[in-house]
């Protein structure tokens, strides 16, 4: 159905030409799902845009062909391609929050392509849209069709987008990270929906994702992209359970698994090569533990046992495990029975969301919605302990973390940090607490001042609390950088000169600068790629062991939480529904919500329910 | 929605009350009062004194204000001290003529400005975009009276197509009426295009890069549908607010333009009453300008709500 052959795409950038895709060849047979897997910068979204003929102006197709159902898309006129888009090719984007037009109703957007491709009248298209919304499992399709995007939840919007893509009955659906922005339970629903639709309509799907657990559930075949090249492709079972390319292997090893707690997560060192001047040899060689002399030669795709691998050492790689970094961390919580470092009792926080005023007779009345993101929360965190906090978006995790630190003032309840009663004190008397309790934010891009060097960023809190003299400052900054495994010359760098993982290390170093005893880690690895995430998680584990600092580790990724936490707290609608030892929560969850949450997590090691018959999975 | 309008109307009333106090206060501070103006510079002081008492000008200022304001509310705008005519009909006539001028200018500014903005955004960074930028900037950078003179030179003196100044009522013939309207309109439009076109251009460029526009393209919609239905609808939101402000600026613009073109509208009435210290007329005219300005902003807010479903007031969806 879709056949991409030898496709090369370059982007003109201010720093020179960047080769986003180098001789990509993939094909999806009718009625099957091909997954395209890769981390950020691998070029996977460029494939989607190239297939749709929607590449931005600065992109240029250097060579290769994209064929759809036998037609060469490159040979078509602009008008012919437009007619093909939307009618036979459908595209679903990553972020359901920005893909729908905020000022048009859902119904008119879902039915829109019918007007232009199938000659429906607007009225008929709207009626059909209601039917489609019903098909994708929206409960009251009529009301939703008349609603505007901001009135719907993320999951509902993604369903509506899928309905819109399906409207003209396309043969091929391209899905670019369709579930990445969604909670796990919603993600599970969307995946189920896609599977049903595929069976019912005989759809062919190109599924682009970085999430191997999701890919394992939906795909028949997998192609792994690295730095603009396909490095391995074959049947899903083969690639995910017996990877032959070192990168695929590293990627799989880096995923934290629920239920198999390791001391260390495997990680892939280094970063993507600069695609403005890609290395002449193997593009992964620099980061590859299996690199050998042959790696300096350009690697070609070769067929090994029914799949393609771009590595001369593939046979060797398949039988050798990915090296796990030495376990410096003991990963055993210092279970001291002394008083907890953080203690929260009956904490409450209510937000009032104003909705303007309405006239009631002659009296003005304020429309208010009350939102209770922190509802009667009681918990303790002991010295050197990691308490994982999981829950879906909107459950109140972040608000709880910030309320404990008094970044948000609670309505009632008691907070103790160390031996200090923090709740009820005015902000200016919280000096001591600000030193003992710190925070690491999710997005290092917005939490690090872009105009300050790393050295200045780290020196600021040290000077603020008078923890080092001006002469000692450079030494202290160096110590901090050393703690987060960054070379000391990084002190002179600005945030934009670093990769995402490095920036997050600086974020952690800044939190450590005041020598805190407790750190709230608010989704510290959610913005990072899997291979980088593993290294940060390892770092956090090491620091806990070395410094005895306690974490409230907030994440929506239950795998990461499972790996790092001693105890886990599950939050729903502002309430703690379950809290206990990590093993107990993960293996014997009691609360129905915890059970639901855990069962929704897509696991990469589970046996696929769809096609493919490989040998039993590893472990 | 009704609650919203009611609230806005209430604020408009507050604004107008404040403006009326300011206007009244400032004119009361002037050295010459109405009695002096009526009787002329050579009147004996005791006569002036007698008229002052008769007109209540010796009362405390707040009493004077209340008297003035309440007579205003009953529709009695007083008499022009200069022309000895009731202000009401005079003002209505002037406002009507000015609204013809500003209305025509406003429609043209909105249509041409938004159009140029769209074209510039679609040709972003190309010669046409630069041409539009330079042209509209030129319009806003050089004062209106300069363009007025150029327009008169070109269309009246040189080409001889249009009258250089004056006004004729529509009853004199539609073409004659229109001919007198064209020159001042061109001047006003040229001076105000940049604001609208620049704003439309920049928000259009931003919106054209948004994921939902790419999504619309991915649906295979024809380009004009993508641009007009998906992009423009959202790009217009900031422009609507700007247009309301521009309407206010137009009210200022007519003061200059009407004077140059000898167009007997509100702007000219204001200049005239300032020059001749016709205080009652000036007070009434300024209040009218403030009211028009406030009304334009209300209309903008309503349009904004119409186009932006996120603030469609008091709407309930399941």
Burial of A42 (0-12, 13-18, 19+ CB in 10 A): buried
Segment A213-229 shows an average pLDDT of: 92
Which DSSP string do the residues of A229-266 spell out, in sequence order? EEEEEEEHHHHHHS--SHHHHHHHHHS--TT---SS--
Return the pLDDT at A532. Answer: 84
Segment A5-25 shows an average pLDDT of: 88
Which residue of chain A comes nearest to B229, CA vs CA? A104
CA atoms within 13 A on the CB side of B134: 7
- Statement: the pTM of the whole predicted model exceeds 0.95: no
Q: Nearest Cα to B315, choosing from A358, A127, A141, A353?
A: A358
Nearest to B2 among A112, A113, A359 (CB): A359
Q: Give the span between the Cα atoms of A522 and A514, in whole angstroms.
A: 18
Which residue of chain B comes nearest to A146, CA vs CA? B317
Share of chain A above pLDDT 70, in %: 92
Return the pLDDT at B316. Answer: 41
Segment A577-598 shows an average pLDDT of: 92
The first and second tokens of residue A454, run together, are 């790393």
Is residue A275 within 8 A of residue A18, CB to CB? The reply is yes
Cβ within 8 Å, pair A140-B310: no
Cβ within 8 Å, pair B212-A83: no
The yes-or-no verdict on residue A619 having pLDDT over 50 is no
Q: Give the span between the Cα atoms of B16 and B14, in whole angstroms.
A: 5
3-state DSSP assignment of residue B237: helix
Q: Give the span between the Cα atoms of B145 and A163, in whole angstroms.
A: 58
Residues A451, A456, A459, CA angle at the centre, nearest 5°? 150
Q: Nearest Cα to A509, choosing from A537, A541, A486?
A: A486
Cβ within 8 Å, pair A85-B220: yes
Q: What is the pLDDT of residues A395-444, one digit of tens each?
A: 889 999 999 999 999 999 999 998 889 988 898 888 889 999 999 998 88
Return the pLDDT at A610. Answer: 41
Strand order of the sheet with strand A33-37? Answer: A89-92, A172-176, A204-209, A33-37, A221-226, A229-235, A307-309, A302-304
Profile chain B (318 residues) by mean pLDDT over runs of 10 residues. Answer: 78 88 81 71 80 78 84 76 78 89 92 94 91 89 86 86 81 83 89 90 92 90 92 89 84 87 88 83 86 85 76 45
Helix axes A122-135 and A154-166, enclosed angle (nearest 10): 120
Q: What is the pLDDT of residues A111-127, one digit of tens each?
A: 999 999 989 999 999 99
Between A331 and A318, whose confidence is greater?
Answer: A318
Residues A165, A168, A169, CA angle at the centre, nearest 5°? 85
Q: Nearest Cα to B313, choosing from A367, A81, A528?
A: A367
Return the pLDDT at B312. Answer: 53
Q: Nearest Cα to A225, choosing from A144, A283, A142?
A: A283
Task: Look up the ipTM and state it.
Answer: 0.76
The yes-or-no verdict on residue A1 having pLDDT over 80 is yes
Q: Give the span between the Cα atoms of B143 and B275, in whole angstroms.
A: 22
Q: Give the span between the Cα atoms of A581 and A308, in whole angstroms.
A: 44
Q: Give the span between the Cα atoms of A133 and A156, in whole angstroms.
A: 10
Q: What is the pLDDT of residues A244-289, one digit of tens each?
A: 999 999 888 888 887 666 667 888 887 788 888 888 888 888 888 8
3-state DSSP assignment of residue A1: coil
The first and second tokens of residue B139, run together, are 């319009």
Q: Give the span between the Cα atoms of A279 and A299, in whole angstroms.
A: 11
pLDDT-based confidence at A616, cuts 50/70/90?
very low
Q: Give the span between the Cα atoms of B182 and B191, in whole angstroms.
A: 14
Paired sense of beta strands A172-176 and A16-28, if any: unpaired
The yes-or-no verdict on residue A494 having pLDDT over 60 is yes
Cβ within 8 Å, pair B212-A112: no
Interface of A with B in 125-154 (CB under 8 A): 140, 143-144, 146-148, 150-151
Cβ within 8 Å, pair B225-A116: yes
Which residue's entry shows tokens 């929506």? A556
Q: What is the pLDDT of residues A453-480, one digit of tens each?
A: 999 999 999 999 988 888 999 999 999 9
Question: How long is chain A?
Answer: 619
Residue A384 gets which letter from DSSP?
T
For an interface test with A, give the residue of B9, B218, B317 to mutate (most A CBs within 10 A). Answer: B218
Cβ within 8 Å, pair B309-A117: no
Chain B positions in Cβ-Cβ contact with residue A99 (cut-off 8 Å) = 211-212, 215
User: What distance lies between CA A453 and its chain's CA centroid?
Assistant: 27
Q: Give the span between the Cα atoms of A165 and A398, in whole angstroms.
A: 34
Residue B247 parent element (H or E): helix B233-260
B177 in contact with chain A, both atoms CB, cutoff 8 A: no
A116 in contact with chain B, both atoms CB, cutoff 8 A: yes
Residue B224 parent element (H or E): helix B223-225
Instruction: Write out A172-225 in H/E/C secondary structure.
Output: EEEEECCCCCCCHHHHHHHHHHHHHHHHHHCCEEEEEECCHHHHHHHCCEEEEE
A58 in contact with chain B, both atoms CB, cutoff 8 A: no
Q: What is the pLDDT of residues A66-96, one digit of tens each?
A: 999 888 888 888 888 888 888 889 898 877 7
Is residue A220 within 8 A of residue A239, CB to CB? The reply is no
Q: What is the pLDDT of residues A137-163, one digit of tens each?
A: 888 899 899 988 888 888 888 889 988
Paired sense of beta strands A550-554 and A363-381, if any: unpaired
Paired sense of beta strands A16-28 and A363-381, if any: unpaired
pLDDT-based confidence at A356, cuts 50/70/90?
low
The first and second tokens of residue A143, run together, are 């009301």
User: What distance lies between CA A583 and its chain's CA centroid?
Assistant: 24
């Amino acid at each position: 159905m879709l056949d991409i052959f030898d496709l090369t795409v370059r982007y003109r950038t201010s720093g020179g030409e960047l080769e986003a895709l180098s001789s990509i060849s993939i094909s999806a047979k009718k009625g099957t799902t091909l997954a395209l897997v890769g981390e950020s910068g691998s070029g996977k979204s460029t494939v989607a845009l190239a297939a749709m003929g929607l590449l931005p102006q600065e992109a240029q197709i250097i060579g290769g062909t994209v064929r759809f159902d036998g037609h060469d898309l490159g040979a078509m006129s602009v008008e012919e391609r437009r007619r093909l888009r939307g009618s036979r090719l459908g595209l679903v984007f990553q972020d359901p929050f920005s893909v729908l037009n905020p000022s048009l109703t859902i119904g008119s957007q879902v039915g829109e392509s019918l007007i232009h491709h199938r000659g429906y009248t607007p009225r008929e298209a709207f009626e059909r849209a209601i039917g489609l919304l019903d098909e994708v499992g929206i409960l009251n399709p009529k009301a939703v069709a008349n609603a505007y995007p901001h009135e719907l939840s993320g999951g509902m919007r993604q369903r509506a987008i899928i309905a819109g893509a399906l409207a003209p009955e396309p043969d091929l659906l391209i899905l670019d990270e369709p579930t990445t922005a969604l909670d796990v339970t919603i993600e599970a629903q969307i995946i189920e929906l896609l599977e049903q639709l595929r069976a019912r309509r005989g759809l062919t799907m190109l599924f682009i994702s970085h999430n191997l657990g999701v890919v394992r559930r939906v795909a028949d075949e997998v192609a792994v992209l690295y730095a603009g090249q396909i490095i391995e492709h074959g049947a899903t079972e083969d690639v995910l359970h017996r990877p032959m390319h070192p990168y695929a292997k590293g990627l799989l090893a880096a995923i934290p698994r629920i239920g198999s707690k390791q001391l260390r997560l495997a990680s892939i060192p280094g970063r993507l090569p600069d695609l403005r001047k890609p290395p002449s040899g193997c593009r992964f060689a620099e980061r590859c533990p299996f690199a050998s002399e042959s790696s300096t030669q350009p690697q070609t795709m070769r067929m090994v046992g029914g799949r393609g691998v771009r590595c001369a050492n593939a046979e060797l790689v398949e039988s050798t495990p990915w090296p796990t970094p030495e376990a410096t961390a003991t990963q055993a919580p210092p279970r001291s029975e002394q008083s907890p470092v953080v203690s929260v009792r009956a904490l409450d926080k209510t937000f009032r969301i104003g909705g303007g005023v309405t006239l009631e007779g002659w009296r003005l009345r304020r429309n208010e919605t009350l939102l209770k993101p922190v509802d009667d929360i009681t918990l303790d965190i002991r010295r050197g302990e990691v308490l994982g906090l999981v829950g879906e978006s909107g459950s109140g995790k972040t608000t709880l973390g910030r309320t404990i630190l008094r970044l948000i003032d609670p309505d009632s309840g008691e907070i103790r940090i160390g031996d200090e009663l923090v709740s009820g004190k005015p902000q200016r008397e919280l000096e001591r607490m600000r030193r003992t309790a710190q925070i690491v934010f999710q997005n290092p891009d917005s939490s690090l001042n872009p105009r300050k060097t790393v050295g200045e960023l780290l020196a600021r809190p040290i000077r603020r609390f008078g923890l080092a003299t001006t002469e000692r400052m450079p030494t202290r900054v160096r110590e901090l950088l050393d703690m987060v495994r960054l070379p000391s010359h990084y002190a002179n760098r600005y945030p934009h000169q670093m990769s995402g993982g490095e920036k997050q290390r600086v974020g952690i170093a800044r939190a450590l600068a005041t020598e805190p005893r407790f750190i709230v880690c608010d989704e510290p690895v959610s913005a990072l790629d899997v291979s980088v995430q593993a290294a940060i998680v390892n770092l956090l584990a090491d620091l806990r062991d070395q410094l005895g600092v306690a974490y409230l580790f907030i994440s929506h990724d239950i795998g990461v939480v499972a790996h790092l936490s001693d105890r886990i707290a599950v939050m729903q609608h502002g309430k703690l529904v379950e809290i206990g030892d990590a093993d107990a929560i993960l293996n014997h969850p009691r609360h129905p919500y915890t059970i639901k949450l855990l069962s929704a997590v897509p696991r990469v090691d589970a046996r696929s329910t769809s096609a493919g018959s490989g040998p039993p999975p590893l472990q | 929605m009704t609650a919203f309008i009611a609230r806005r109307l209430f604020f408009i009333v507050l604004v107008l009350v404040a403006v009326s106090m300011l206007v009244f206060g400032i004119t009361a501070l002037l050295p010459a009062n109405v009695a002096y103006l009526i009787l002329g510079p050579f009147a004996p002081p005791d006569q002036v004194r007698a008229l002052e008492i008769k007109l209540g000008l010796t009362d405390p200022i707040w009493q004077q204000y209340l008297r003035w304001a309440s007579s205003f509310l009953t529709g009695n705008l007083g008499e022009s001290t200069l022309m000895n005519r009731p202000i009401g009909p005079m003002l209505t006539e002037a406002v009507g003529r000015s609204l013809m001028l500003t209305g025509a200018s406003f429609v043209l500014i909105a249509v041409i400005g938004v159009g140029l903005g769209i074209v510039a955004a679609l040709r972003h960074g190309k010669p046409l975009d630069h041409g539009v930028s330079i042209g509209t900037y030129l319009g806003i950078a050089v004062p209106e009276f300069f363009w007025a003179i150029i327009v008169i030179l070109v269309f009246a003196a040189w080409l001889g197509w249009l009258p250089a100044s004056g006004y004729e009522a529509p009853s004199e013939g539609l073409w004659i009426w229109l001919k007198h309207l064209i020159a001042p309109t061109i001047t006003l439009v040229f001076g105000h295009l940049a604001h609208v076109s620049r704003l439309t251009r920049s928000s259009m460029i931003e919106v054209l890069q948004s994921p939902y526009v790419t999504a619309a393209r991915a649906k295979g919609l024809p380009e004009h549908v993508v641009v007009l239905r998906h992009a423009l609808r959202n790009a217009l939101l900031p422009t609507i607010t700007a247009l309301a402000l521009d309407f206010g600026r137009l009210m200022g613009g007519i003061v200059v333009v009407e004077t140059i073109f000898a167009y007997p509208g509100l702007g000219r009435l204001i200049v005239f009453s300032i020059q001749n210290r016709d205080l009652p007329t000036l007070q009434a005219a300024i209040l009218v300008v403030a009211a028009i300005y406030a009304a334009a902003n209300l209309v903008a807010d309503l349009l904004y709500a119409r186009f932006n479903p996120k603030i469609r007031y008091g709407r309930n969806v399941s």
